[in-house]
Structure 1
Amino acid sequence: MCKYSQKVAIELGFEAMQFNSVVSTNTIAVALWKSLGFDIVGTIPRAYKHSSLGYIDSFVMYKG
């Protein structure tokens, strides 16, 4: 889905893409977005309340 959305964005003339919320403890998702060229550009502290970990951060990820 991400590869497709990037393809469509390029076709429409967009030069960047941002994901506003990638949960910091979801290491698989963070690694996936990084492998697709995204960088962590911000952290939202204590953005989610995890059932066993308590409050956890969320990342803002960007690809330009």
Structure 2
Amino acid sequence: MCEYSQKVAIDLGFDAMQFNSVVSTNTIAVTLWESLGFAIVGTIPRAYNHSRLGYVDSLVMYKSLVEV
């Protein structure tokens, strides 16, 4: 789904993609997005109320779609 959405974004003329909220404790999701070329560009402290851990950070992840 992510790879398809990147292709559509490129076809529509977008230069980048951003995910505004990836829960920091979801290491599987963070690793997946990083493997697809996304990087953590920001942290929102205590943005998500985790049912077991309480408030945890949320990450902003970004990827340029333009080849340099």
TM-score normalized by structure 2?
0.91
Unaligned runs of 5+ in 1: none
Deviation at 1:33, TM superposition (A): 0.3
> 5+ residue gaps in structure 2?
none
Q: After TM superposition, give the deviation of residue 45 of structure 1 in Å.
A: 0.3
Give the match for residue 27 of structure 1.
27
Task: Please name the residue that 1:16 is paired with.
Answer: 16
Aligned length: 64
| Identity value in percent | 83
How far the C-alpha of 1:16 sits from its partner, in A, is 0.4
Are residue 2 (structure 1) and residue 10 (structure 2) matched?
Answer: no
**Runs of 4+ with deviation above 3 angstroms:** none
What's the CA shift for 1:51?
1.3
RMSD of aligned Cα (Å): 0.5
